[in-house]
Each structure stands twice: as structure tokens, then as C-alpha cells.
Amino acid sequence: MRCVAVRRTRHSWLAPTDYDMSSRLRVYVFSYNRPEFLANIVASVETLIPDAALTIIDDDSEDRRMRKLLAQYESTRRILRPSTHARSQTYKTGGLYANKTLALADAAEQGADYALYMHDDQQIVRRVSGDDLARFDAFFAANPSALEIQPCFFKHDLRAADRQYTRLDDSQNAYFRDQPNARGHRYFAGSGLFHVERTQQVIGTFGLGEKPNEAFLSERAIYMGLYAYPFMAWLPFPISYRGKKRAITHRLIEWLGGGGFHPIDYLDADETARLLNRDLGERPVAEDWLSAPSAPAAEKWSTMGGFYNASARRGFKKALARLLWKWQKRRG
């Protein structure tokens, strides 16, 4: 990592003043067969982190509309595909975590300090500035073993546990779920901001799924930070794939749950200021801060697709979706 001058931030920790997003931060969007979602996330990155270098890693989509969109992007945006860009034959078959290893190697090759991993059913929701980069620097300086800081808004289901069992780190820029009764991901999340050099040294090649990576870092007691000033969110009630397929029953279950494309409104300047200046005793839960006008009315947002969409709702559609889901599970 390059040597730069330091200055005092609003917190007590010293942070570098090198705010060059274009060289220090690379954004990787992982996509497959969801053109509306890809167009939305690309627009959000280019609007709200305009100086960051963006790379789309498409898992060799077959959808005709998706291919058309990628062809439009080809001349102005960087696109990698595992079938043509993976050096090792192991990763030429694609798959989300193989693609994440490909992205990590690319970020290191490009000399980036940080790699922001985003799935195409996420988006940026507020402007990301040099102040955020300074906070990342402060967090990783204060936590020399940390590999990742998660910049998503918190989930409704974890509200009570996060209020009671998370704590601010020494830099005052992130929370840790390092208490015995904490819930949710403590060590690793598949999307988030990674310290490139450390992640290459400690992980190198990602395990194929969140669970093996979580277990690997758990054994080493390497906790993930949860950013106190989130700028990213999962879209509510998305459509999803299971093993690169969307069976008819799966499609029907998602339809009953209101599954679809539901983009989130960007936070305006006043809303952003309120978020950044709030009492950090308040954990930033997505439903408290964000609005997705086309999403189904629900107390909590589902972000995982499938039956999870219907389980976040009430009434006969939820009951019918549950019956279909159980029938689908029995069939295997």
C-alpha cells in the first residue's frame, strides 16, 4: 500500500489523505441473466461513485436481453467473463465465488487498495466520497487483521440482536458482531468492501460459498466490520436463480411473494446528512432509511428471493406459497 500523508479526521484515528478513488477503489458487479438489475446497479455506481473504476463480471449469461445490454456496455465499460478471462482452468466454468477469486486477482493486478464486491440485486443508495475512503483507511488501520467492511444497511430481522450484541470498533467507523449471542454474518459476507492485499494473503482463493469462507475466518477469529455509515443495500423482493435455473414452481412462489425488480430511491443531501450525523447508538436498518416505491407493502423486506419473498408478507398468498414451497422440497 502506498505511503501518504495523514491528517486528523472527525474521529481520533489518523487516516490517509489520498482520496483518489480511481486508483484505490475498484468496484466489481457480479451479474447473471437479470438485465434490469444490472442496468440499475451500474447506473447507481456511476452516479454515486463516479470516480471509482467499475468492472462487470458476467457469469456467461444466456438471456437474450442480458446479452444485448452487455453488448451495449462493451465499448464503454470493462466486462470480464470466466470463460474467456479466467487464467486457471479451475475457474473457467464460472460460478459466483470462482468469479470473486477472479476479481480479487484483477484488483491486485490493477494495484487497488480496496475491492467493492456487489451482486446485481444490490445498488448504491447515497453519494460515496473521500470521507468514506478515509473511514475505510481508519477502520483497517485500527483493525490490522480485518479483511472486510460490510457497507450494506442492516437487516430488519437482526434489529434487536444488533442493537444489543454489536459494538463500535476502535476507529468508531464500524460495528463488530463479536459478542457470544450476536446473530448474522460475523466474519464474512459475499458482498462488501475487501482490503485487497490482506484478502489475497489470508484467503487467496475463495471457498465456494459464504459458509466455507465464514468458517475459515471464524477459525482465525477474523471479524468483519459493519460500516456505521452504509451506502449500499439489497433490493427488496428480488427474483432469483437456484443453480442458474428458475423452475416454474420457483417463479410462481416468487410471484406470490411480490418478486420483481424494485429499485431503491437515492438518499438526497438532507437524508444523507441525517444518516452521517446520527447518534451511532442507532443501527442503520434498511427499512428505516430507504424507500423502494414499487416494492410490496411489508413491515420487513425480503432480500433473498424464493419463498423468503412470500414469508415476509401476510395473507393467502403467503399460505399458498408455503404449500408450493413444501411440495417443491418433497419433490427434491
pLDDT in tens, the chain (332 residues): 333 333 333 333 334 445 688 899 999 999 999 999 999 999 999 999 999 999 999 998 999 999 999 999 998 999 998 765 545 434 433 488 999 999 999 999 999 999 999 999 999 999 999 999 999 999 999 999 999 999 999 999 899 999 999 999 999 999 999 999 999 999 999 999 999 999 999 999 999 999 999 999 999 999 999 999 999 999 998 877 666 666 677 677 767 767 789 999 999 999 999 999 999 999 999 999 999 999 988 888 888 766 666 666 666 566 665 666 566 667 66
How many structural domains compose the chain? 2
| Residue 322 placed within a domain | yes
- Predicted confidence at residue 306, as pLDDT, reads 66
- Predicted confidence at residue 247, as pLDDT, reads 63
* Residue 57, all three cell numbers: 463480471
Burial class (CB in 10 A: 0-12, 13-18, 19+), 188: buried
- Predicted confidence at residue 82, as pLDDT, reads 79
- Predicted confidence at residue 307, as pLDDT, reads 61
- Predicted confidence at residue 309, as pLDDT, reads 65
- For residue 185, give the H/E element and its range: none
Segments forming the whole domain that contains residue 314 = 237-259+296-332
135, amino acid identity: R
Work out whether strand 53-58 and strand 25-31 pair parallel, antiparallel, or are unpaired: parallel
Q: How far is CA 154 from CA 12, 58, 184, 282, in A?
A: 25, 27, 10, 11
Query: Quick one: residue 134, left, alpha or beta (phi over 0 = left, psi -120 to 50 = alpha)?
Result: alpha
| Residue 274 placed within a domain | no
Residue 19: count of CB within 10 angstroms of its CB: 17
- Report the alpha-carbon distance of residue 43 to residue 66 in Å, rounded: 15
Q: Which of 275-300 are b and which e, b meaning 16 or more Cβ less than 10 Å from the residue's Cβ?
A: beeeeeeebbbbbebbebeebbebeb
- Predicted confidence at residue 329, as pLDDT, reads 65
Work out whether strand 78-80 and strand 192-195 pair parallel, antiparallel, or are unpaired: unpaired
| Residue 213 placed within a domain | yes
Nearest Cα neighbor of 135 from 282, 286, 10, 50 is: 10
Q: Are 143 and 196 part of one and the same domain? A: yes
Nearest Cα neighbor of 44 from 116, 109, 115, 100 is: 116
Domain termination site, one of 185, 207, 227:
227
- Predicted confidence at residue 10, as pLDDT, reads 34
Length of the chain: 332
- Predicted confidence at residue 328, as pLDDT, reads 64
Residue identified by cell 439489497 is: 234
Radius of gyration of the chain (CA): 20
Q: What is the DSSP string of 121-148?
A: TEEE-S---HHHHHHHHHHHHH-TT--E
| Residue 276 placed within a domain | no
| Residue 1 placed within a domain | no
Q: Are 125 and 246 part of one and the same domain? A: no
Burial class (CB in 10 A: 0-12, 13-18, 19+), 203: buried
* Residue 270, all three cell numbers: 438532507
Q: What is the CATH number of the domain that holds 116?
A: 3.90.550.10
- Predicted confidence at residue 260, as pLDDT, reads 86
Alpha helices in 203-285 (DSSP H): 210-219, 248-256, 269-276
- Predicted confidence at residue 95, as pLDDT, reads 84
Q: Are 18 and 112 part of one and the same domain? A: yes
Q: Are 198 and 88 part of one and the same domain? A: yes
